Amino acid sequence: MDAAERRKRKSRRLRRERRIRLIWYTVLGIWGIFGIVGIASVAYWIFGAAAGTQVVYGGIKGPAIPAALGRGTADTQEDEPQQTKLLSEEDRSTCKRLLEENPALLVIANKDHGLSRDYDPDLRYICSGRLQAASAVYDDLVEMLAAGRNAGYEFWIASGYRSSERQQELIDEDVRSRMRDGMSYEEAMERVLREKLPAGHSEHETGLSFDILCSGNMEMDGTQADEPGNRWLVEHCSEFGFILRYPADKEDVTGITYEPWHFRYVGRDAAGFMEEKGLTLEEFTENAQCAGL
């Protein structure tokens, strides 16, 4: 073997060795990077949990959410005095009597009052099996919609009973949507909780609340209030045991922005009394609790 051939073989061997070293350095570098990231992630998770931060909403990172939230959060809004309407002692006694007679129909769910963990509404299917509702509401709901139809209006029930799991999913979806629009997690959550309540605190979980839209307008927004059919519902719903749950002039009491489409069943006697006295369910409940004091 001449000197030229030996030099060629040595050159090829050196090139192979360099390639092997390069591959090993690349593998070790990648391993090192991922190792550092992994360690950092574990540390972030540990210290984040200790600081009250957790992964929520299907992977959206944000501060741990208080158990009771409504219009805004305890961290982002100062407490506002609620303008509760206090009635006479006689009327407070009426509130107490009605509540004692129908506790299941007058159960309250809002930012301050969650449903008990063992709450189990007696449900039946409505709308040809598309939705569910509490059995107690069925006859009056059918009668109200029939009366509206006779008056020339058609309605579409967009939602009735909603499980706690489904309520959580809806909040997740809205938070993600607003974050995609550029909001921070905190901004998105604050905005969503002006209109929705956390799982365990939503009236839809009682089976007694319904989002009722006027046929021809499927938008669940303020335009419902301009519909003649909606005005008919607001005027006549108490005759069938329903109340407009979140009125425009009681946002500071209910903690939820005005929803002209959201109707809640409380029974005919209670609905008539609340309509007469101009009460929200929060005010009715507080007056019942203040009876005799």
pLDDT in tens, 171-225: 899 999 999 999 999 999 888 887 788 888 999 999 999 999 999 999 999 999 9
Q: How confident is the model at residue 31 (pLDDT cuts 50, 70, 90)?
A: low
* pLDDT tens digits for range 46-63: 333 333 333 233 333 333
155 pLDDT above the threshold of 70: yes
Q: According to the per-residue pLDDT averaged within each range, which of 4-8, 108-112, 258-262 is highest?
A: 258-262
User: What does pTM read for this prediction?
Assistant: 0.70
Of 169, 161, 94, the C-alpha closest to 123 is 161
In the chain, the percentage of residues whose pLDDT exceeds 70 is 72
The pLDDT value recorded for residue 56 is 32
Please report, rounded to a whole number, the percentage of residues in the chain having pLDDT higher than 90: 60
Average pLDDT, the chain: 81
Domain boundaries, the chain: 3-51, 89-162+202-290
- Name which of 69-73, 114-118, 182-186, 194-198 the model is least confident about: 69-73
C-alpha span between 65 and 85 (Å, rounded): 30
Range 246-269 average pLDDT: 95
pLDDT for position 198 = 86
CATH class, range 89-162+202-290: alpha beta
Query: In this predicted structure, what is the pLDDT of residue 45?
Result: 36
